[in-house]
Amino acid sequence: MEPSGKEMFAVVARDGPARCGRLTTRHSIVDTPAFLPVGSKASVKAMAPDELWALGYRLLLANAYHLTLRPGEELVRKLGGLHRFMGWRGALLTDSGGYQTLSLSKLASVDENGVRLRSHIDGRKVEMTPESVISGQRALGVDIMMVLDECPPYPASVDRVARSVDLTARWAERSLQAKRQSDQLMFAIVQGGVYPELRKRSAAQLTALPFDGFAVGGLSVGEPKPQMLETAALVSELLPAGQPRYLMGVGTPQDLLAAIALGYDLFDCVLPTRNARNGSAFTSSGVVSVKQARYARDPMPLDESCACRTCRTFSRAYLRHLYLSGEILAARALTEHNLSFYCTLMSQARIAIASGTYEIFRRTLAERLVEGVKEH
């Protein structure tokens, strides 16, 4: 018998809607709330897998669409699966590639069968169906598979988003029929834009089906921040309490703190790695941009309260020098710090939830981060 989502996920502590959980996968147990570093092409930029493990990460995100294009899921399968291919011993979640219907909309067309697009690499024709996406993720051997969905743009008319909601639901049913391996989890993706009734419709359609967890997609695509949080709050209340809730693509520290307070468990975003490559570091007192001249002679670490290797070793002045000199070490050091900051943030949130002090923790840290942005 296939284990249910409730057996794979257990809520171990609550503080209001915020909760700590334990997600059991084939390769690792993941304590939640948890942030997933983005490694779309089977690599988190500037970081080695053992470094991510040492920071405390147990679940990474890759992208089935990108890996299907290059090197190809069959090659990965023949080489022992994605974990062996990339040298990662923890759990892996693969995004289906549905987001590419939005990000590569000029190259893509969508119909009942699936998505047709031209590869952004070499222009060849690519077809993604709910069945092919699940087949590809089975070949990759990942722990958590995401179904193919259609992510509508923002803004979009209610009729346009309604069609997307219903198509996503039909694709989700086909994805379940294509699933054959019981030890790979499968999550559905709630769509509906910023329309409350459509979000309710999507959640009702998907939660009626036997998925292992539920994601919320189609946010952080251009809508105002208050609308994003309002929509996330609505959907969280519609999802099963005993299964993981994954808020996709949301990623400033303040947003994560707010989303945890709404009852979400998993998050991913390119922000910590992308910002690091642009010379920007997240710290407990706000964002530090090492590009600024004020740091040219600054002997302090990025964050005095951070114990990561970067903060133990390098000054702001040295990091600025590395960045302005175009040294690869700048990206490596800043990325390691940012991912350490995010991992620590999740750990602190879990401790606060378990001790019943999450709201105090969230407000105190959020205020400090906002004040720090003004100062830095």
Cα–Cα distance for residue pair 143/323, rounded to 1 Å: 36
Question: DSSP assignment, residue 43?
Answer: S
> Phi, psi (5° rounding) for residue 159?
-65, -40
**Helix 158-178 with 196-207: angle, nearest 10 deg:** 10
Active site residues: 95, 268
Reported as half-sphere exposure (CB side, CA atoms, 13 A), residue 313 has a value of 11
Q: Residues with Cβ < 8 Å from 251, sequence gap 6 or more?
A: 35, 220, 267, 268, 269, 270, 271, 272
Check: CB of residue 37 under 8 Å from CB of residue 270: no
Cα–Cα distance for residue pair 323/105, rounded to 1 Å: 34
Dump strand ranges (E) for the chain.
9-15, 18-24, 29-32, 34-36, 59-63, 91-95, 108-110, 115-118, 125-128, 144-146, 185-190, 213-216, 245-247, 266-268, 280-283, 286-289
Check: CB of residue 376 under 8 Å from CB of residue 261: no
**Residues linked to residue 188 through DSSP beta bridges, in sequence order:** 214
Single out the residue of 139, 224, 151 nearest to residue 189, CA to CA. Answer: 151
